Amino acid sequence: MGSLKTYRLTFLLLLLVLFLSLLLNISLGSVTIPFKDTLGILSGNLANESWSYIIWNYRLPKALTAILVGSGLAMSGLLMQTLFRNPLAGPFVLGISSGASLGAALLIMGSSFFAGITGFALVNDVTITLAASLGSFSVLLAVMAIAIRIKDTMALLIIGLMFGSITGAVVSILSYFSDAEKLQQFVFWSFGSVGNLSWLQLSLLTVIVFIGTSLSVLSIKALNALLLGESYAQSLGVNLKKARYLVIIATGALAGGITAFAGPIAFVGLAVPHLARQLFDTNDHKVLLPAVIIYGAILMLLCDVVAQLPGSASVLPINAITSILGAPVVIWLLIRRRKMAF
């Protein structure tokens, strides 16, 4: 397999781009802070209390969240595409984001339903995160329970999509009966956001993404064998069931954790692995995994810059930006299918 060394220069360049994107992301926002001063605050040489507050407590956590979200979603997208041998698979094909949506929807819109029973339901950032995690975790458990029973990986893909349909339908019914205010709150959640995370929430997300990344790294060898198909992988000594669980749990942790904290963010997971394959022209996961981690982070940082509409006070929904950038990529991939690197 092509070694990491072959791609050293490309990786160095990507890391440089990542660093620049990070600086760009931090230096731009609704409040104009000159670039020189941003660097000054980051290096601790400039004392401007309000700017310092904005950068340390707002922009930096947001930038770090964007990195975690982008890298994590890109990784889980790569895992799913290899496991299902399907270039259109993404982090949410197992119904993880639909599960999160259901959790959030039940809390936000269901609270008016059950208000008579539960009295006053507390709807805030923390409870929404909890509800979304519970939702995605339950769907993941259901998918795992089925994964034990079935042998065919493709059937698992369809079952994941079916779960997505069911939860989507329940969310629709809830929306139908909701009042405008609750509906708006839910819609805002579904826009996704990488801002508003406290340092504590951020560290929790970091731990989740770290666990997901470790499991992905442990899956590298099995994923490479799976490039030949399941029968060949098995004949190479890969324990298919164990590999499948490892990949599902890694994806569950990454996509589930990220959706809980940042909402359902589309297209990054689907598009980044393809972008990485175009640049690196290999399918070796030893190269692709670090590549999608860096690529995903860059893409998310830049999407966040666009979403911020630098200089203005309004913020566009990040989910819309990723889709606006992501959808053309998918279309472009389908048009040049002959050369689709998969």
Tell me which residues touch another protein (CB under 8 A): 1-2, 85, 217-218, 220-221, 224-229, 231-232, 234-239, 277, 282-284, 286, 341-342
Residue 270 or 298: which CB sits closer to another protein?
270
Tell me which amino acid residue 296 is: G
With H, G, I as helix, E, B as strand and everything else as coil, classify residue 217.
helix
Tokens of 147: 């994964």
Handedness of CA 248, 254, 259, 260 (dihedral sign): positive
Residue 20 or 150: which CB sits closer to another protein?
150
Residue 119 or 237: which CB sits closer to another protein?
237
The minimum distance between CB 82 and another protein, in angstroms, equals: 8
What does the longest C-alpha to C-alpha distance in the chain come to? Answer: 64
The minimum distance between CB 257 and another protein, in angstroms, equals: 24
Burial (CB count within 10 angstroms: exposed 0-12, middle 13-18, buried 19+), residue 242: exposed
Residue 64 or 293: which CB sits closer to another protein?
293
Residue 67 or 157: which CB sits closer to another protein?
157
Q: 27 and 38 in contact (C-beta within 8 Å)?
A: yes
The minimum distance between CB 273 and another protein, in angstroms, equals: 12
What's the CA gap between 276 and 299, in Å, rounded? Answer: 11
The minimum distance between CB 153 and another protein, in angstroms, equals: 11
What's the CA gap between 298 and 22, in Å, rounded? Answer: 8
The minimum distance between CB 166 and another protein, in angstroms, equals: 29
Closest to 219 measured CA to CA, from 69, 72, 79, 93: 79
